Amino acid sequence: MKLGYLIIDMQEIHVRDSVDQKTLDRGCEYINYVADMLREQGQLVIHIQDIEGLEEANKERYSIIPEIQVADGDLKVSKEYSNAFWKTELEQLLKDQGVELLIIAGFSVEHCVQFTYNGASERGFRPVLLQNGVLSAHSDVITAAYRDRNLISYPVIPYLISQ
């Protein structure tokens, strides 16, 4: 099965002042572990970067945080809206790669993560949230997202790749 992995908005401007370092480190550990697992199996890893408000003067604040590992073969998609599919090349990129299941991780679960999840579902992809790989400034919304959305834990991923 061809998997796609979206790592959403793990950028300085979004996470640094919103999530405490211990929570951030734990989330990044899961995000990076799954990214490595998928890369080793030739699966697609895509970093989604929100560029709304980006100017030359604040460019550094829009960079991906150093806690997130970005490999040479990873792809990057820029977006200006909460849904990473809206007015971007993401849908076509995933279709061209034959992606069936879309694992979604990143920040913020109550905004861009869930809007992208919904956008994936509307476009015929099968989205799942990575357990322990979604972040928010509000822990209660993570609990709600786990209750209301499809969820995957990392030990299941090797089995899915082999299908």
Whole-angstrom Cα Rg for the chain: 14
d(CA 41, CA 36): 9
Domain count, the chain: 1
Give pLDDT tens digits for 9-33: 999 999 998 999 999 999 999 999 9
> Are 47 and 71 in contact, with CB atoms under 8 Å apart?
no
Give pLDDT tens digits for 53-86: 878 777 888 999 999 999 999 999 999 999 999 9
In this prediction the pTM is: 0.96
* Residue range of the domain that includes 126: 3-162
DSSP 8-class letter at 145: H
Where residue 145 sits, what CATH number does that domain have?
3.40.50.850
Give pLDDT tens digits for 139-156: 899 999 999 999 999 999
d(CA 141, CA 111): 10
